[in-house]
């Protein structure tokens, strides 16, 4: 049986389950199902006083991204149980790859588990900063920090054997910056159907509201909705930070801001929506894990072409609208129960025809075999953390 050492920030292995935690869980499940026995090396961020002070003048996510002893921790773990594969969870760890080469067994392959290039959303934050109340500050200025981050990403790929991504777009970007080998792994849908009782006047959105691509798309749709005088549509908004949610609700009368909700509260609330909306009009990093939640709920979904990046299915359909006006039109159509019922059947088909963990694991197994050696076909898991 092949062995793997999974290196990750400790916070990605524990609640609350945000997008990064969900994607980390998927990577763990898929790797284990591919026949790799996993050991875990967890660590914390570098929170030294000197690091915190320097980040005030240089905000690159690649600057001192991990506690100083991480390379030594990995070396000790690899010496105790020599791995066939080193899995680095998140691109911020990629700059360590050259140092890790010197402390790992010579035949150990380094696999970067990407959640998307940091430079991608940094660019979106920079371009929207003048029009949206973004809290992100790129210091000393966007040109320097984005440029430095992009060069760091490109240079670090020389010591990475393969990069796994969450979407075809991220795979293409990895190829663009010079990654040796890339592959994208589609999302897995966990079906948790709701007792759906739509009110006939609501759609809902769940997300991180200060994430530039999310905020930009939502504002574009709300601006378009505001021009539809007499439209009887409520937009139920779930997520944080609270300050941003309150700002949106104060600016747009059609919005009901509910704040962050627990899983049970969210399920009760979403059961009243005619549709889950995901208005994304730019090419953001990674994928939207909340979309998988909505598909698993078996309720109608309105999104965009780039909004459902990272998903794969054989049957069914989303309501897809690639400009704000068409997006509002799609939402208004789904206030009809007949239209919503039809859309829901399409989502159920998407959920039932999406890849399973074994399906995705087979793709990963083939990929890892191509790097050298054979992986076991049996499902194996060792000391997998509970989420």
**What does the mean pLDDT of the chain come to?**
94
Contact 272, 202 (CB under 8 A): yes
Instruction: Give yes or no for residue 2 having a pLDDT over 60.
Output: yes
**What distance in Å separates the CA atoms of residue 378 and residue 66, rounded to the nearest whole number?**
34
According to DSSP, the residues that pair with 39 across neighbouring strands are 5
Candidate from 13-22, 52-61, 234-243, 318-327 with smallest mean pLDDT: 13-22
> In this model, does residue 380 exceed pLDDT 70?
no
Taking the complete model, does pTM exceed 0.85, yes or no? yes
In the chain, % of residues over pLDDT 90: 91
CA atoms of 331 and 318, how far apart (whole Å): 12
Q: How many CB atoms lie within 10 A of CB 331?
A: 26
Looking at the DSSP assignment, which residues form a beta bridge with residue 36? 2
CA gap 303, 48 in Å, rounded: 42
Q: What is the pLDDT of residues 44-99, one digit of tens each?
A: 999 999 999 999 999 999 999 999 999 999 999 999 999 999 999 999 999 999 99
pLDDT of residue 283: 96
Assess contact for 84 and 109: CB atoms under 8 A: yes
* CA–CA distance, 282 with 139 (Å, rounded to integer): 23
How far is the C-alpha of 13 from the C-alpha of 384, rounded, in Å?
10
Closest CA to 43 of 77, 9, 69: 9
CA–CA distances in Å: residue 194 to residues 188, 262, 294, 310, 322: 18, 15, 10, 23, 27
Which residue bears the tokens 């953001």? 284
Task: Look at residue 15 in the predicted model and tell me its pLDDT.
Answer: 87
In sequence order, what are the residues at sequence separation of 6 or more whose Cβ sits closer than 8 angstroms to the Cβ of residue 250? none
Res 230: pLDDT: 85
Q: Answer whether residue 376 shows pLDDT above 60.
A: no
Convert the pLDDT of each residue in 287-338 to its tens digit. 999 999 999 999 999 999 999 999 999 999 999 999 999 999 999 999 999 9
């Amino acid at each position: 049986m092949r062995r793997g050492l999974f290196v990750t920030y400790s916070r990605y292995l524990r609640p609350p389950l945000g997008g990064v935690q969900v994607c980390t869980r998927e990577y763990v499940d898929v790797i284990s199902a591919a026949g790799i026995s996993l050991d875990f090396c967890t660590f914390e961020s570098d929170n030294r006083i000197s690091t915190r002070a320097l980040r005030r003048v240089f905000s690159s996510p690649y600057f001192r991204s991990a506690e100083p002893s991480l390379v030594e921790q990995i070396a000790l773990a690899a010496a105790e149980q020599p791995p066939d594969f080193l899995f680095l969870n998140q691109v911020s760890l990629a700059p360590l790859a050259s140092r890790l080469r010197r402390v790992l067994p010579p035949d150990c392959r380094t696999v970067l588990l990407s959640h998307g290039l940091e430079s991608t959303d940094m660019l979106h934050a920079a371009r929207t900063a003048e029009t949206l109340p973004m809290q992100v500050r790129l210091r000393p200025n966007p040109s320097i920090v984005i440029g430095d981050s992009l060069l760091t990403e490109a240079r670090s790929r020389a010591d990475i054997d393969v990069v796994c991504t969450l979407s075809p777009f991220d795979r293409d970007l990895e190829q663009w910056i010079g990654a040796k080998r890339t592959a994208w792994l589609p999302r897995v849908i966990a079906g948790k159907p709701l007792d759906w009782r739509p009110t006939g006047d609501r759609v809902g959105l769940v997300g991180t509201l200060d994430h530039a691509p999310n905020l930009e798309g939502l504002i574009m749709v709300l601006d378009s909705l505001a021009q539809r005088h007499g439209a009887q549509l409520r937009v139920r908004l779930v997520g944080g930070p609270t300050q941003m949610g309150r700002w949106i609700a104060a600016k747009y009368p059609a919005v009901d801001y509910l704040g962050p909700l627990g899983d049970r509260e969210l399920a009760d609330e979403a059961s009243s929506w005619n549709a889950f909306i995901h208005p994304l009009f730019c090419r953001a990093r990674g994928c939207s894990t909340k979309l998988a939640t909505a598909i698993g709920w078996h309720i109608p979904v309105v999104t965009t072409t780039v909004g459902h990046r990272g998903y794969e299915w054989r049957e069914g359909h989303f309501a897809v609208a690639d400009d704000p006006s068409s997006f509002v039109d799609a939402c208004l159509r789904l206030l009809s129960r007949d239209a919503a019922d039809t859309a829901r059947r399409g989502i159920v088909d998407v959920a039932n025809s999406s890849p399973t963990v074994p399906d995705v694991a087979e793709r990963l197994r083939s990929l890892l075999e191509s790097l050298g050696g054979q992986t076991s076909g049996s499902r194996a898991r060792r000391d997998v953390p509970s989420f």
